[in-house]
Structure 1
Amino acid sequence: MNLTPRQLQILTKIRDYRVTKGYSPTMQQLANDLGVSKVTVFEHVEALIKKGALQRDANKARSLRLSPNLQLPDESKKTRLPLVGTIAAGIPIEAVEQREHLDLEELFTSGHVHGDNTFVLRVRGESMIDEHIQDGDYVVCQRRNTARNGETVVAIVDNDEATLKTLFHEKSGQIRLQPANDNFEPIIVDPNRIQIQGTVIGVIRTY
């Protein structure tokens, strides 16, 4: 697919924003972040839809998403994973998108991690220390929107707060996000207030 550098920027921004927020940015947000006009962004988005790189639900806001089979250049190297922001391991914080990458090949000379459908977050806070996830660690996550009891998840609460916790389905129908530190209280929410963005499949720590 023939994509311009600006179109690649827009696609990357939409991908990373959806990981941390659960929905796509507005045209104005894209324009502000890229330093261009809203009209310019709109023209690029329409071109990307025609090329088949982007999909959008009719009459639905914030529904832009990358086509399932599209692979961006930064995903072609299996050990180079998108570092899309910071995740709270204390109280929830607003997820902040960052344009960075974590190259596992640079950190480790051996080993193999599949980059497809995978992303990395840097941990901030100490609520998961009893699960050996410490402040400053990197958690490698698989993109998923569901999780089983006992899985450590990246969860967005009330649309704009992201946190790292162990998920449990309560008999009451609510969801409990359980910290692994007795100094922190669990977060108990109704299912409609939470979006699962992924489950933790690995932890990376540098010294």
Structure 2
Amino acid sequence: MNLTPKQLKILNRIRETRLTRGYSPTMQELADELGVSKVTVFEHVEALIKKGALKRQANKARSLEVSPDLDLPDETSNTKLPLVGSIAAGSPIDAIEDREHLDLAEIFAPPRGTVGGNTFVLKVRGDSMIDEHIRDGDFVICEKRNAARNGETVVALLDTGEATLKKLYREKDGRIRLQPANDKYEPRYCQPEEVQIQGTCIGVVRTY
């Protein structure tokens, strides 16, 4: 299907608004978004309907919907990751899940591709991992896993309900050592049943 850049923007805007709000934007909202007149948007919308890219219910406001058969250029790109809370990089803190998202597209332009559904983001609080170049305020991108190799940086959930970001090591006596990457902090030793691995750190995002 031959679509103009403005038509693609209109389709993306309609799709995003329906996903986030549950309804379509108005013609005026689309005009404001594109910086054009309402008449121009109306002409584009009518053209998209004729091409089969858009559907609209007669006599119903906010009913524009992208055709389910249409694959937009960025259809397979998913840069929004669930921000599930804060993670301690000092003393452990209560692990609380927040219903928010971190959109990587708002921080930098990632290469086109799909971010897996087993990936989540945590915001770091504390400086115990600074020697691993993980600072207070950074966002760590983690892969959901319940096991890790020695030396991997993990999201560890303690039996107290606290969560912490540390490097994991298995001691010869069977204990788990959660090792900070800062000489100011002492390692924490746990029995295997006292700690659950929630994921491993696979990347860090930092804003300035």
TM-score (norm 2): 0.61
- 2:43 — aligned with what? none
Alpha-carbon deviation of 1:139?
0.2
Letter in 2 for 1:165: K
Task: Deviation per CA, 1:154-198: give whole Å up to 9, x if none.
Answer: 000114010000000100000000000000010100000000000
**C-alpha contact (below 8 Å) 2:77/2:115 kept by paired residues:** no
Q: Which residue of 2 aligns with 1:193?
A: 194
Q: Which has the larger radius of gyration?
A: 2
Q: 1:164 & 1:101 partners in 2: Cα distance?
A: 20
Residue 97 (structure 1) aligns with: 97
Count of equivalent residues? 132
Report the aligned-residue RMSD. 1.3
Letter in 2 for 1:102: L
Q: Which runs of 5+ in 2 are unaligned?
A: 1-75
Amino acid at match of 1:206: T
Contact 1:81 1:115 in 2 (8 A): no
The answer as to 2:87 corresponding to 1:87 is yes
3-state DSSP of counterpart to 2:193: helix
Question: After the TM superposition, which residues 52-131 of structure 1 pair with which residues of structure 2 at under 5 Å, given as runs?
Answer: 78-111=78-111, 112=113, 114-131=115-132
Give the % identical residues: 65
Runs of 4+ in 1 over 3 A off after TM superposition: none
Residue 114 of structure 1 aligns with an amino acid whose one-letter code is V
Task: Say yes or no: does 1:168 pair with 2:173.
Answer: no
TM-score after normalising by structure 1: 0.62
Contact 2:142 2:201 in 1 (8 A): yes
**Residue aligning to 1:21:** none
Residue 114 (structure 1) shift? 1.5
Structure 1 residues 186 and 138, CA, compared in 2 at 3 Å: closer, same or farther? same
Are the equivalent residues in 2 in contact too, given 1:151–1:167 (CA < 8 A)? yes
CA apart distance, 1:113: 5.8
Distance 2:135 2:87 in 1: 12
Report the AA paired with residue 123 of structure 1. V
Please tell me the residue identity of whatever aligns with 2:88.
Answer: A
What SS does structure 1 have at the residue aligned with 2:85?
strand
CA distance in 2, matches of 1:132, 1:113: 26
Partner of 1:59: none
What does the per-residue CA deviation read over 1:61-85, in whole Å, with 9 as the maximum and x for residues that have no partner?
Answer: xxxxxxxxxxxxxxx8621000000
CA contact (8 A) 1:155 1:198 kept: yes
Greater relative contact order (Cα 8 A, min sep 6): structure 1 or 2? 1
Return closer, same or farther for 1:92/1:200 CA change in 2, 3 Å cut-off: same
Distance 1:88 1:206 in 2: 19
In structure 2, what residue type is equivalent to 1:105?
A
SS in 1 for 2:131: helix
Q: State the alpha-carbon separation in 2 of the partners of residues 141 and 173 from structure 1.
A: 26
Moved more, 119-128 or 101-110: 101-110
